[in-house]
Amino acid sequence: MPKKETADYIAVEKNTDEIGRLNSLLKILTNNACTYSLVLDHDTKILYYSESLLSLAGIKNYETFIGMPLLDAYEIIFNDRGFIEEASRRLSRVMSGENDFFEDDTVVWPDGQKRIYRLSYKKSLKA
């Protein structure tokens, strides 16, 4: 392998390792924080969520929801039509360009527990 190709391969491998370490750190932070995090793409499909969010719903297979539209995932996770309708309304606000707002909402988990959460919505700039 020529020297430049070897150097490029090493650089890519190093960056891949760094991305893996950053991903691991992000998971540690989000899974041990008092918040539950979701990251969506511009089509409202799930790119990332904290495992702690799904563990509250009793879901063990965390990969299931990656790439799924948020409201479809909520239909599976929550048996609360009112919450899903409110989530849809909030999501519409974000998709229409509104940024950086929060609301309080009551979430009914599958085990019947009701909890009040402060839901924060932030829309990032396009990359």
Cα–Cα dist 69/25, whole Å: 25
Question: Do the domain assignments include residue 12?
Answer: no
CB 53 within 8 A of CB 34: no
Question: Do the domain assignments include residue 60?
Answer: yes
Question: Do the domain assignments include residue 115?
Answer: yes
Q: In terms of residue numbers, what domain contains 71?
A: 33-121
Can you give the pTM of this predicted structure? 0.64
How far apart, in Å, are the Cα atoms of 87 and each of 14, 59, 116? 40, 20, 14
The number of folded domains in the chain is 1
* 97-127: pLDDT as tens digits: 888 888 888 888 777 888 888 888 777 655 4
What average pLDDT score do residues 9-21 get?
69
* 45-71: pLDDT as tens digits: 888 887 777 777 778 777 888 899 988
Higher pLDDT, 110 or 76: 76
Highest mean pLDDT among 3-12, 19-28, 84-93, 105-114: 84-93
Q: For residue 69, give the CATH number of its domain.
A: 3.30.450.20
